[in-house]
Structure 1
Amino acid sequence: MLWLVWVYLLNLQSGALGFGINPFSGDSFNHQTITERALLNVTAQVCRALALAEGKDFTFPAQPFTAKSIANACEAPKSYKFFLPNILFIQSMNAAVDLRRLFEARYHCDDELLREGQRLITEGLSAVKAANRKQSFLSARLTLGGILHTLQDFYSHSNWAELRNKFPNINMIRRNANIGNIADRTTATCRSCNGDDCRNNILENVISRNILTSGYFVVRPMSSNKPKGKCSHGGFPDATSSVEPKGGINKDSYSSSHGYLHREAAELAIAATSQILEDIRGASGDREFLQLMGLSKGSSKALCFVVDTTGSMGDDIAAVQTVTSNIIDSKVGTEDEPSLYILVPFNDPDFGPLIKTTDAEVFKGHINSLTAYEGGDLPEMSLSGLQLALTGSPPNSEIFLFTDAPAKDKYLKNTVIALIEQTKTVVNFMITGILSSRRRRQANENQQQQQTQRMARSDSQLYRDLSQASGGQAIEVSKNQLLQATSIITESTSSSLVTLLQVNRNMGRPENYTFSVDDTLTNLIIYITGSSVDFTLVNPSGELHNGASTGPSIITAELVGNLLTLRLRAQVGLWELRIISTNPYTMKVVGQSPIDFILRFMVQSQGPVDGYDLLENRPTAGSNTSLEVTLLEADSTTVTEVTLVESSGSGQVNGLVEAQGGGQYLVHFDKIPSVEFVVLVKGQSTNSTTSRASSVTFQRQSTTSLR
């Protein structure tokens, strides 16, 4: 669940842990702010270079830069919701070094292990470049965050700033390069100091001879093995600072032992971070660097088609070729143009290969070259094809799977769901003729038909479960309805789309749902999939609408196969949707809006540092867990409620919301549901565009179901 969960550390003591990892550390610089500044600065320079190469002007946004202002300046406003999470993730991996490797001096350039720190940085840098070449951007970001921590600590923990260096040590990012004259173990480097006297505690001969040193850091007094005459890190909880020579030399904050050089050390760390980012940029190229950051003038998402190529799909493949061509043409040149196209065919017993390209015309050529040929028995390797697509696609992709057969490889269901959770990829199933038994020999026609229909019901549910887990849909249509249905569902792939409400019911029964519409929402749509589903819609004015009388709030009502699409006139306020059905169904309310949120699960650190660490797997059912919610429109919105809602039921767990500032909220839950759930966020949105500011309620829901 690396894409869903992030480190974000609160209530931490700064002064012993690099620049500190508390994102709300007052005036002092911390690892998060240093990392963010460098990422934004270099990204802006990349966008400027690309603009100038295209003969365009580029205007830097006002300082201080933000993820949103840089995305806008780069003409990629819709990428903001991907750019910001990637920055947060790199910051998170940076901060995690203090939680997980607090006592390993080389990760912090402590104990004069500066060459060892250099080795960590350069080996990690090589790994980042290799991951970029493979387009494994998540792996690259994870490694990048860790090596940035070590690099930044060099300037806070060593005496580089005390030696009056005005520029970073470029050799810290060059493998086996000479980083300077490092003090040997027998060379004394410090004298005792106390308080303000620590300004001059580094020995004069160390300064005059340009000798590099760093402070020793140990938490437990009994384990202190600081060599005689060596500098200490200093501050809480460094036990060596009370051992002669007393004091310290760290510059982690303004209140640190050498806090008078805190700003200089932080500026050096920002410049050094920019250097390593420029090195990565030079190795990968400008556009690939922006992919690493999640910025694209089109969509940062990949568009992926997984296509059944068995004999009975002959007519479908022709329709798929038309459908995919229409989808591609509708997105080329727009803000929703995919950054990558992926094709995975599957048959029986074969599946693959996975084909990738960034060229829309080349991709259409691959699609048009697909041909149908006979498979084996009725079920096909649909989940194997889907698994290959999920492992080969970047996070937040869109997958359309076309088939007319049930899955032979049902055993992959849990694996596929885990990949969906990890990548936050939306999967839509376009199912044609699932009830058909025409590929089977009709030795016993009546018995065969009954068996096929029983199987069809269970396999339709399998596809529904997978689509629901991803926030997609399983649409069952006739072959001649495929183009119409796909055209409808393609609208739900816009990168500015938000989900207000989504439910899945395997046992149909009368049920009422409510959802709040705010004044930022446009293109409001309700999708309902299922057979024999009756609905009544009540708008905020109390007007009723149903299938027999759509009323003024419903612009259009369109039924294609098992998909009912209701396009609404967005009216601010609380809506109600009443559904009556004895069959399974799904319902989804979506719209376009800049208001959205990022979520990440955390766990209380078990180490000596008080804070929250990355939850690397699913949260434990029934246990208490914390969740951080970050709003994308923090200036005009406030979170008031966060709830974990069962995906296929009415159960829910309410969280205790604590505002942390900067659009971030820490939410505590007493227990996690034992079944699949989604995160529902409610709050207030302030509209200041009118003469008198007003506040309205908004709600947003996570798309991917969690377990």
Structure 2
Amino acid sequence: MIMPIIRAFIWVMILKIHPSVGFPPDALTGSAAFTKHHAEITRGAIRIAVGRYIKDNNLTLIDDTTDVFDAVKTLFGNDSDGYEKFIEKETDIIENVKDQEKSKEAYIHCNSEQIELAHNHVIKLRKQIAVLAQSTEPDLSLIRKMIGKCIYTIQAFYSGSNWVEMNGDSVYKDFETNDNFDQGKCGFGGSTDTENGFRTAKGGINKDRLDYTYSPHHHLHYKAFYSARKATEQFLIDQDDTGSIGDEIEEVRKACIDIITNVFGTPNAPSNYILVTFNDPVKHMHRLTTSNGLEMISALGNITVDGGFDCPEYAMSGLEKAIELCQEQSTIFFYTDAPAKDEAERDTVINAAEEKHIDLQLFVHNETCGPLRKKRATERTKRDVEPHVYSQVAEGTGGAIYRFNTSLLGELMIQISEEIFPSATAIVDTFELRDGETNQISFPVDSMLNNVKITVIGATSAADVDIESPLGSIMTAVTTSVYFKSPDKVVVSVLYPTTGIYKLLRTGNNYWYANITAQTSVDFHYLMTEEAEDGYFYRISGKPIVGEQYRIYLTVYDLPVGMDASGVRLETNDSPTNNLDITEVAGDFGTTYFVSTTLSSDVVMYFI
């Protein structure tokens, strides 16, 4: 076999000082800007691995000309909120990789003849990840941290051994998958190779940089990069195998209103809304079918509750009617506090849902009065497998069933609905209007915003609020929708707004809190870092400390051609707004900027 022979020729570097030299954790500047680094290797591997998964499983329409790097962005499409959440998880893994650079353990870096220990380290972590991933409620943050530890050491192998010298940019598949290692030695070279008198070793295997005065094998830097990226990609692909219902009605009502307003006027908004209720003795009542989300909000506001915890109710009849009325491939949200009186209609519901490809999201209260097992709901749970009719309907249709209690229902609904109806929302600004202060505030609207929503808390009615565009009041315009949510919330949605400065006008002296959001394809992600002893910047642990200096990285996505970001605004609790100029640096999947600043107060919001 070739592999045992190859293993016999793998040599290990000799280093006496830690932390080791290897790929830098993040991008370098100046003449070293083209040097490859752990962040770039990891992000590229994640995009390739996820992109291949998307293409292999036909998760979205992607033609053969679409680069696998672009598959993730294609999958999310207009859902910039979903894409931002993906980026947050991706960045979390990357920062966990970079954090390993600070480790004093030689085997973490594949240093000091400790490749076998590095191999065993990764094997152990992989087993722990597999166990965690199979638990009923896996700690995803911990899993991402352990994945970061694995990935760092895997990448370090290609910069810290002479595998690339012997085999080019291929992947050594036995590393962190096979138990046997044979070892030799060679001079690593570079500024920390003390075995060679602090001089660059002739023939040393250092290939961490493109600078020949620093890395004797600088000409192999890109091959080491490609090997490390392919090995990381393979690792990620391998991991893929591993009384009162009244309170609940109010929570449902609040969550539904938030869902409707968040997607109102966006490409992801439902094309129609249907409201069906059921109880006992009334089998079902069709209350509304409309394409207007505001009419749905009004209908939800008119629902009243009779009794509570009635045992049982005509749940299957209500589901059957909703399926009959809705369009194909619709999503139905179903809520109940009682068992089904008409369980015999189960198969009728399943067949009807399957015929129209309906996605059923069933919410069942923890404390039903029938044979349903009571179970504490702390967060979104996996599909229930109990042998009652709701579980059978969910199982038979490929839907999902969730246990809920009153306090968690709204949060649970929002979480699930954001996955189904992504809103792609960006915060434009927030304001407070106190008693005695000005009754007018201004905010800008540019050509990148296609739907603006102004939420005012503190208004006693819609008549208290007026909004003016550069063309005058917009409150009665065809593209404006206004609704009042008792007791003190007014929401104004403006489709296709005119570009310019808008004014929000207050009537009276009530305290107002105004939140202004909009739909836009442009989005950004920020990361706060601090400088470590090795001169590199790493993600901070915990909250930033007032008076300390930090570097803030911002990555902006989908900037229109010809447009650029020039600054960032930091909003704080108790100090003046801080406007900072930003500097552009090389980015992988967006335009990246940074700024260094000393915090004078706790930052509560970032604007670009």
**TM-score of Structure 1 vs Structure 2, range by shorter chain:** 0.5 to 0.7
Change (3 A) 1:236 1:278: same
Q: Deviations over 1:149-174 (max 9, x none)?
A: 11111111111123336642222222
1:76-475 correspondence to structure 2 within 5 Å: 78=79, 79-98=82-101, 100-101=102-103, 103-133=104-134, 134-164=137-167, 167-174=170-177, 177-178=179-180, 180-183=181-184, 189-190=185-186, 231=187, 233-242=188-197, 246-247=201-202, 248-255=204-211, 256-283=215-242, 311=243, 313-318=244-249, 363-367=361-365, 388-389=378-379
User: Contact between 2:27 and 2:586, CA under 8 Å: does it hold in 1?
Assistant: no
Distance 1:81 1:343 in 2: 30
**Matching residue of 1:540:** 470
Q: Match of 1:556, SS? A: strand
User: Contact between 1:321 and 1:367, CA under 8 Å: does it hold in 2?
Assistant: no
Distance 1:115 1:318 in 2: 60
Query: How far apart are 1:88 and its partner, in Å?
Result: 2.7
**Matching residue of 2:566:** 640
Change (3 A) 1:658 1:390: farther
User: Which runs of no fewer than 5 residues in structure 2 stay unpaired?
Assistant: 1-18, 271-329, 338-356, 371-375, 383-403
| 1:110 maps to amino acid | N
User: Contact between 1:325 and 1:364, CA under 8 Å: does it hold in 2?
Assistant: no
Distance 1:123 1:507 in 2: 61
> What TM-score do the two structures reach when normalised by structure 2?
0.65
Distance 1:342 1:612 in 2: 48
Change (3 A) 1:667 1:61: farther
Distance 1:27 1:60 in 2: 30
User: Contact between 2:170 and 2:227, CA under 8 Å: does it hold in 1?
Assistant: yes
Q: Match of 2:53, SS? A: helix
Query: How far apart are 1:544 and its partner, in Å?
Result: 4.2
User: Contact between 2:107 and 2:115, CA under 8 Å: does it hold in 1?
Assistant: yes
| 1:271 maps to amino acid | K
1:500 partnered with 2:428 = yes
Q: 1:599 aligns with which of 526, 540, 557?
A: 526
Distance 2:240 2:256 in 1: 34
Q: Deviations over 1:623-644 (max 9, x none)?
A: 4433221112245442223122
Q: Deviations over 1:554-603 (max 9, x none)?
A: 72322121111112241111222233554443211112111121112112
1:566 partnered with 2:485 = no
| 2:248 maps to amino acid | I
User: Contact between 2:207 and 2:218, CA under 8 Å: does it hold in 1?
Assistant: yes
User: Contact between 1:93 and 1:142, CA under 8 Å: does it hold in 2?
Assistant: yes
Query: How far apart are 1:280 and its partner, in Å?
Result: 0.2
Q: Match of 2:241, SS? A: helix
Figure out how many residues of one structure are paired with residues of the other and give that number: 460
Change (3 A) 1:429 1:130: closer
Q: Deviations over 1:103-159 (max 9, x none)?
A: 421111011100111122122222333343344333222221222111111111111
Query: How far apart are 1:252 and its partner, in Å?
Result: 1.4
Query: How far apart are 1:618 and its partner, in Å?
Result: 1.1
Distance 2:380 2:593 in 1: 31
User: Which runs of no fewer than 5 residues in structure 1 stay unpaired?
Assistant: 1-14, 184-188, 191-230, 284-310, 346-358, 373-384, 393-399, 404-424, 431-471, 473-488, 682-707
User: Contact between 2:430 and 2:516, CA under 8 Å: does it hold in 1?
Assistant: yes
Q: Match of 1:249, SS? A: coil
User: Contact between 1:528 and 1:587, CA under 8 Å: does it hold in 2?
Assistant: yes
User: Contact between 1:645 and 1:653, CA under 8 Å: does it hold in 2?
Assistant: yes
**Matching residue of 1:70:** 71
Q: Match of 1:601, SS? A: strand
**Matching residue of 1:520:** 448
Change (3 A) 1:329 1:564: closer
Change (3 A) 1:635 1:270: farther
Change (3 A) 1:516 1:91: same
Query: How far apart are 1:551 and its partner, in Å?
Result: 4.8
Q: Deviations over 1:366-399 (max 9, x none)?
A: 1497579xxxxxxxxxxxx99x44999xxxxxxx
User: Contact between 2:192 and 2:198, CA under 8 Å: does it hold in 1?
Assistant: no
Q: 2:24 aligns with which of 20, 36, 40?
A: 20
Q: 2:48 aligns with which of 28, 41, 50?
A: 41
Distance 2:76 2:420 in 1: 22
1:479-494 correspondence to structure 2 within 5 Å: 494=422
Distance 1:389 1:344 in 2: 18
Q: Deviations over 1:287-341 (max 9, x none)?
A: xxxxxxxxxxxxxxxxxxxxxxxx4x4434356567778999999xx968999x9
Q: Match of 1:669, SS? A: strand
Aligned-residue sequence identity (percent) comes to 18
User: Contact between 2:555 and 2:592, CA under 8 Å: does it hold in 1?
Assistant: yes
1:629 partnered with 2:554 = yes
RMSD: 4.4
Q: Match of 1:600, SS? A: strand
> What TM-score do the two structures reach when normalised by structure 1?
0.56
